[in-house]
Amino acid sequence: MENKISKIGVFTSGGDAPGMNAAIRAVVRACTYYDKTSLGIMRGYEGMIEGDVIKLDARSVGNILQRGGTVLKSARSKEFRTPEGRKKAYDNIKKQGIDALIAIGGDGTFTGLHKFYEEFGVPSICIPGTIDNDLAGTDYTIGYDTATNTAVEAIDRIRDTALSHNRLFFIEVMGRHSGYIAINSGIAGGAAAVIIPEEETSFDDLWELLEEGGKTNKKSNLVVVAEGSKIGDAHALAKLVKERSSYFDIKVTVLGHLQRGGAPTYFDRVLASHMGVGAVEGLLQGKSDVMVGVRDRKIVYNKFDDIMSKIHEIDAESLRIAKILSI
């Protein structure tokens, strides 16, 4: 592939996600394959602003494919949100001779990269890496599958103790504005109800469901609540139930950051590998200001505006199935 690009800077940004290392490895090895130099920018936009850059080659990314977290580390950078911060970042990447960027991160990372591209015209591609799966333009984001499997494993363990004591558990899973982890860990974990921000619901709807379960002799209940729930988090919902009745013996578990760690599943490793190579090939084909995605098992590139103007909707079928099975 002939192209003017010769030095590609890669970084991870925003919330880390299992599989980011597999994506870094794929980017670096694809660079080597196409005879391009790759540099790793540490701590996302923070490292870009501070000029914290390391040399990478095919061997330096050995033995990271299977590891959680990110060897390039990640950060949420306040300074990059300012024009002054972005100018500093630009000066640094020029100094390093970086002539294209690959960011591995979520919607915030992509928004920052888009601004940077508009201001300085550096060819850039984003790889979706976030456990939230909240980006349109790809069926899955890197880390979502691993995080959901982790949540399911936790729910299974909670089920054992919930049933032993006939308890009602509110289990909060991650997803700042997204119910993906909740709906699918809820289906896979056999939840009595799933509360997600994408679906209109009320506390009364939930109450009705719990009462129905009581009438049909349900011994224990697991309610999976997405962090972004619009009717209250797991603690708030537990409090509301307690206020309404003393019938239920209630416990709350917030799964939190354990969902972000751990070895990536085979699925996330393969997804990250495809996307990493796809990002390098996209840049070399002259694509920019796009996110690489996988849709129906094919690599696709979508412009920033197309991705950000859409939400990654949860399919109606999943919502329907979750309801039928919670009976």
Ligand X SMILES: Nc1ncnc2c1ncn2[C@@H]1O[C@H](COP(=O)(O)OP(=O)(O)O)[C@@H](O)[C@H]1O
Task: Please tell me whether 26 is known to bind a ligand.
Answer: yes
Q: Give the separation between CA 327 and CA 310, rounded to whole angstroms.
A: 33
Using rule CB under 6 A, residue 167 touches ligand X: no
Using rule CB under 6 A, residue 131 touches ligand FBP: yes
Using rule CB under 6 A, residue 47 touches ligand FBP: no
Confirm if 135 and 110 have CB atoms less than 8 A apart. Answer: yes
Half-sphere exposure at residue 314, Cβ-oriented, CA atoms within 13 angstroms: 23
Using rule CB under 5 A, residue 137 touches Mg ion: no
Out of 12, 13, 70, 141, point to the residue binding ligand X (CB under 6 A): 13
Q: Largest Cα–Cα distance in the chain?
A: 71
Identity of the residue, 133 or 273, whose beta carbon is nearer to ligand FBP in the bound complex: 133
Q: Give the binding-site size for ligand X (rule: CB under 6 A).
A: 17
Residues 242-261 that bind ligand FBP (CB under 6 A): 260
Out of 16, 132, 145, 268, pick the active-site residue.
Answer: 132
DSSP 266-316: HHHHHHHHHHHHHHHHHHHTT--SEEEEEETTEEEEEEHHHHHTS--PPPH
Using rule CB under 6 A, residue 186 touches ligand X: no
CA angle 10, 278, 269 (to 5 degrees): 80
Q: Give the separation between CA 235 and CA 225, rounded to whole angstroms.
A: 10
Q: Give the separation between CA 130 and CA 138, rounded to whole angstroms.
A: 12
Tokens of 297: 């098992």
Task: Please tell me whether 175 is known to bind a ligand.
Answer: yes
Q: Give the separation between CA 81 and CA 130, rounded to whole angstroms.
A: 20
Burial class for 160, CB neighbours closer than 10 Å (0-12, 13-18, 19+): exposed
Using rule CB under 6 A, residue 76 touches ligand X: yes
Using rule CB under 6 A, residue 143 touches ligand X: no
Confirm if 71 and 24 have CB atoms less than 8 A apart. Answer: yes
Burial class for 159, CB neighbours closer than 10 Å (0-12, 13-18, 19+): middle
Task: Please tell me whether 107 is known to bind a ligand.
Answer: yes
Binding site partner of 172, from ligand X, Mg ion, ligand FBP, none, Cβ cut-off 5-8 A by kind: none
Out of 99, 132, 198, 268, point to the residue binding ligand FBP (CB under 6 A): 132
Using rule CB under 6 A, residue 230 touches ligand FBP: no
Task: Please tell me whether 15 is known to bind a ligand.
Answer: yes
Binding site partner of 13, from ligand X, ligand FBP, Mg ion, none, Cβ cut-off 5-8 A by kind: ligand X
CB atoms under 10 Å from CB of 136, counted, come to 17
Using rule CB under 6 A, residue 106 touches ligand X: yes
Out of 198, 227, 281, 289, point to the residue binding ligand FBP (CB under 6 A): 227
Task: Please tell me whether 86 is known to bind a ligand.
Answer: no
Identity of the residue, 233 or 281, whose beta carbon is nearer to ligand FBP in the bound complex: 233
Residues pairing with 184 in the sheet: none
DSSP 221-248: EEEEEETT-TT--HHHHHHHHHHH-SSS
Using rule CB under 6 A, residue 176 touches ligand FBP: yes
Out of 9, 37, 45, 150, point to the residue binding ligand X (CB under 6 A): 45
Phi–psi pair at 52, nearest 5 degrees: -90, 95
Using rule CB under 6 A, residue 81 touches ligand FBP: no
Q: Is 132 a catalytic residue?
A: yes
Residues acting as catalytic residues: 132
Annotated binding site for ATP: 15, 76-77, 106-109
Contact residues toward ligand X (CB under 6 A) are 13-15, 45, 76-77, 80-81, 105-109, 111-112, 115, 130
Annotated binding site for substrate: 130-132, 167, 174-176, 227, 251, 257-260
Annotated binding site for Mg(2+): 107
Contact residues toward ligand FBP (CB under 6 A) are 14-15, 106, 108, 130-132, 174-176, 227, 260
